[in-house]
Structure 1
Amino acid sequence: MPQPTPPPSVLRRPQLWIGTGLIAAVVSMLFALLYVGGNVNPRGNLRDLPVAVVNADRGADAGGRHVNIGEQVVSAIQQAAKGDKSIDWQFVNREEADKRLGKGKVFGALVIPDDFSATVTGLAAPQPAPQGKATQPTLTVLTNQAAGSIGSSMASQAAQKAAHAASTQLGQELLKQAGAQKTPLPTAAQLKLADPVTVTVADGHPVGPRSAMGLSAFYYALVLVVCGMLGANVVNSQVDTALGYLHTDFGPFRKREPVQHTSRVRTLAIGMALMLGLSLVMGTLVEVATVGILDMDASHLDQLWLYSVATIAVVGIGSLALFAAFGTPGMLLATIVFVAMAVPSSGATVPVQALPGFFRALAEFEPLRQITEGLRSLLYYGAQADAGLTRAWASMGVALVAALIFGFTVTHLYDRRGLHRIPHPEAEAEIPARTPEAPESPAPATA
């Protein structure tokens, strides 16, 4: 008996190579452009990075007149800012600066102390204080790692640059004053006057030692988004398996449930209900793992738990809506929306002010940025509503409503048009079955 000819290998099908190749090409190109494009030149894209300037200088009497050298420093910064739009200098008092640092509204601050004029004029006095008694003029740069380590570093560098420029300018004036005196200054004293100001760096809003240097909010947010997406994938496959649309393999064994014909709307509702239940479990375990086991610095644990559960639920429901509307391509679309476009526009590593214009526009609505800002408020800023938490909850609510409207509108439209995933038995029965006719009996042979 001849053996049946084996079917040709699927590797010989051009459609397989072309389809798979196109998907791989689009994904690799898109991820490379988005991930690297958003972070490749932060200094070149830097615009309006908020940095506070505090002038607490009381001024001093020198040469028969009252001077305020702190105001001169502020004026020099304002003049320099006219030709440089990279930094948004915000001139406020110390109380307001601390408030903005404590809400992540500024990435750093330059503080001019109250005795700045007194210490500067003291260096140029005809009879300086005894050795060891003179006070060195000091400017303090405050950092804010809680707002983002790279943004804080950029703010610190800008503030230090402004402070050193002010020191050089003051040094030139002091050297002129010293040159007018009858007694020439020693070389060491002249060098000291040339750059008289000491610049110190301090943490303006400290974060805990187990806060990943201000990045724990971003990593936690990324975990929540990934949990939402993976949870949606699991829910989608499990619901299809329970309805008999998919089979389940256990090693060499295959199991398939009887097909349950149901509408797309009902299928989506089942998946979303299951996603809500899983979100309670996943959100709880994420907090237990990070705070309980890894000892991550965190407070307001009840709010953090509620926020975690809600984030996973919203991301999962949004992903399920995309799956229901677009099918298998919806999984790729969810990855692009929640990961590929979200991570580079999140402002978690590179601040939004240092991103290209396209990514700044994405940051206005991309979920990961809003999620991260809310977590920064919970983890670093005492759960203050105006530190990003209110906006995060509002964005989450808008995203949930949009996902529900989009998902159920599209699936309802599919159901109305009869675009069922598996045809109903009644529809199959309408096709008339053809039965083979019995062959006619041969005529009897005649003699």
Structure 2
Amino acid sequence: MAAPGETFHVIRPRDTYVMTPVPPFRVLRAKPLWMANGVITGVLALLFAVFYVGANIDPADHLTKLPVGLVDADKGATVGGKQVDLGARITESIKKSTASGGRIDWKVMDEREMKEELGKGKLFGALVVPADFTSSATALTGTAPTATPARPTLTVLTNQSAGSIGSGLARTATTRAAENASLQLGKELTAQIGTAQARLPAAARVLLADPAAVTVEDGHPLGSHSGLGLTAFYYALTLVVVGMLAANVISGQVDHALGYTHNDMGPRRLHRPLIRATRVQTLAISGTLMAGLSLLMGTLVMAGAVGIMGMDASHLPLLWLYSVCAVAVTGIGALTLLAVFGTPGMLLVTLVFIGMAVPTSGATTPLEALPGFYRFLAEFEPLRQITGGVRSILYYDAQGDAGLTRGWVMMAAGLVAAALFGFGVLGWYDRKGLHRIPVEPAPGKTAVPA
């Protein structure tokens, strides 16, 4: 019912309105307007802060079992008639050390396995003990006064393709482990030679306390136009955002084409005759349009990134197909949420495809450095699955077990889930008579706003 003194416009056939003298700014006095918008925007702001800042506020503290390779290529040496293998002692002490507090998961492997795992993004780094480590280290205990022995090295390998933050965390932890191992080895060597240390050259005595030099190298080099390992993330994010925004555009344009909504073009308001369609039919029309236009959008995304901006990329036909499918699946998923939930669906789309997706993608901060809740979200969040596939294509020679197979499987699962949920719920709406048919008052009757 209308409150005393309030007047409303009259809705007449063909959408012709009679204006009332009520000032437009009067709506700002309505408490429900402020409360509804305040709750929605406030919750949205809070959720984005929690998802974005909360996931990345302290990755080192949340780090758990970051996979790092540990390679012992040392061939050992014969010292005093005994076979000595310092590399095995170092790797064993590093693996058993509790200094990392469970933050590093040391994977003992040979050099071939290590290169394969780095080349699939399954390792964030590696520590390599070279073949001549024992011979170089034991040479420091020699007593020749004229020559300074070459210092043995421990090599830390990084892997930017697995994520810059993850690679940095692995580098820091691995370098610290290598330095601690060198100091421990220095104590052992000093204890072994005892008083003979006094006969060593001055330079050799200094090196003996900390015998190993730690060098850092790139374990899986990328091209100069790979964004330091971040182009895969930004490319995948582009695909998701394009699909999400396209869903919003297509949803509105289909409603306009069917005559359910107006379409404002500058000062003009266009309204087509009503074509009655069920909710299921509307979603089917929108989904078909999305699938067809994904061919265009996926092509233009790849053309812009690779052709215009010069992003390093290989397997271009596969990248094109994956791009088209990613846009289509994202768009159809967003259309489903919009169709099922209506206006609030856009907020859900934003949260699912952007708010919860970006911090759980594993592209910037590794999943091993996220709190448990975010690692749970990462198991099904679309951006993480799409990023894994793009990363495999761009950095890892399109190997299936480098993330491409999971990407395809999860996209297919997402498409099936969207179809079942969308058509299932909308079919129920239709059967209950909850049709999207505008009800117009009879001529001359007043319409009371909700």
Opposite residue 106 of structure 2, the aligned amino acid is W
Distance 2:178 2:99 in 1: 17
Contact 1:264 1:411 in 2 (8 A): yes
Is 1:122–2:139 an aligned residue pair?
yes
* Residue among 186, 193, 196 paired with 1:171: 186
Contact 1:119 1:135 in 2 (8 A): yes
Aligned length: 426
Q: 1:82 to 1:153 in 2, by over 3 A?
A: closer
Distance 1:185 1:31 in 2: 63
Q: 1:105 to 1:182 in 2, by over 3 A?
A: closer
Opposite residue 157 of structure 2, the aligned amino acid is L
Distance 1:70 1:251 in 2: 74
Distance 2:201 2:112 in 1: 41
* Residue among 87, 107, 116 paired with 1:70: 87
CA deviations on 1:226-277 (whole Å, 9 max, x unpaired) are 0010000010010011011111222222211011111111111000000011
**2:147 alignment counterpart:** 131
Contact 2:143 2:200 in 1 (8 A): no
Is 1:85–2:108 an aligned residue pair?
no
CA deviations on 1:408-435 (whole Å, 9 max, x unpaired) are 111111111111111589xx9xx9x99x
Q: CA deviation at 1:6?
A: 2.5
**1:441 alignment counterpart:** none
Opposite residue 49 of structure 1, the aligned amino acid is L
Q: 1:176 to 1:100 in 2, by over 3 A?
A: same
Distance 1:369 1:254 in 2: 41
The 5 Å alignment of 1:10-159 reads 10-81=27-98, 84-127=101-144, 130-131=146-147, 134-159=149-174
Opposite residue 127 of structure 2, the aligned amino acid is L
Distance 1:340 1:31 in 2: 6
Distance 2:91 2:300 in 1: 50
Distance 1:143 1:336 in 2: 33
Q: What secondary structure sits across from 1:22 in the alignment?
A: helix
Distance 2:322 2:57 in 1: 32
CA deviations on 1:97-127 (whole Å, 9 max, x unpaired) are 0010000111111010111100000110233
Q: What secondary structure sits across from 1:47 in the alignment?
A: coil
Contact 1:81 1:87 in 2 (8 A): no
* Residue among 322, 327, 331 paired with 2:346: 331
**1:369 alignment counterpart:** 384
Contact 1:317 1:403 in 2 (8 A): yes
Distance 2:438 2:265 in 1: 28
The 5 Å alignment of 1:212-291 reads 212-291=227-306
TM-score by length of structure 1 reads 0.92
Higher relative contact order, chain-length normalized (CA < 8 Å, sep 6+):
2
Q: CA deviation at 1:7?
A: 4.8
Distance 1:299 1:66 in 2: 48
The 5 Å alignment of 1:350-389 reads 350-389=365-404
Opposite residue 418 of structure 2, the aligned amino acid is A
* Residue among 294, 304, 310 paired with 2:319: 304
What 5-or-longer segments of structure 1 have no aligned partner?
Answer: 435-447
Distance 2:342 2:439 in 1: 19
Q: CA deviation at 1:180?
A: 2.1
Distance 1:43 1:83 in 2: 11
Q: CA deviation at 1:378?
A: 0.2
Q: What secondary structure sits across from 1:207 in the alignment?
A: coil
Contact 1:241 1:257 in 2 (8 A): yes
Percent of aligned pairs sharing the same letter: 56
Distance 1:253 1:78 in 2: 71
Distance 1:190 1:58 in 2: 25
**1:211 alignment counterpart:** 226
Distance 1:312 1:121 in 2: 60
> Which region of structure 1 is more displaced relative to structure 2, 414-423 or 67-76?
414-423
Distance 1:78 1:192 in 2: 25
Distance 1:127 1:423 in 2: 98
TM-score by length of structure 2 reads 0.91
Distance 1:81 1:142 in 2: 21
Q: What secondary structure sits across from 1:181 in the alignment?
A: helix
Structure with greater Cα Rg: 1
Distance 2:317 2:100 in 1: 48
Q: What secondary structure sits across from 2:199 in the alignment?
A: coil
Distance 1:248 1:79 in 2: 67
Distance 1:83 1:28 in 2: 36
Distance 2:427 2:190 in 1: 81
Contact 1:48 1:87 in 2 (8 A): yes
Opposite residue 199 of structure 2, the aligned amino acid is P
Opposite residue 22 of structure 2, the aligned amino acid is P
Q: What secondary structure sits across from 1:180 in the alignment?
A: helix
Q: CA deviation at 1:388?
A: 0.5
Distance 1:69 1:236 in 2: 67
Contact 2:100 2:173 in 1 (8 A): no
Q: CA deviation at 1:186?
A: 4.6
Is 1:413–2:407 an aligned residue pair?
no
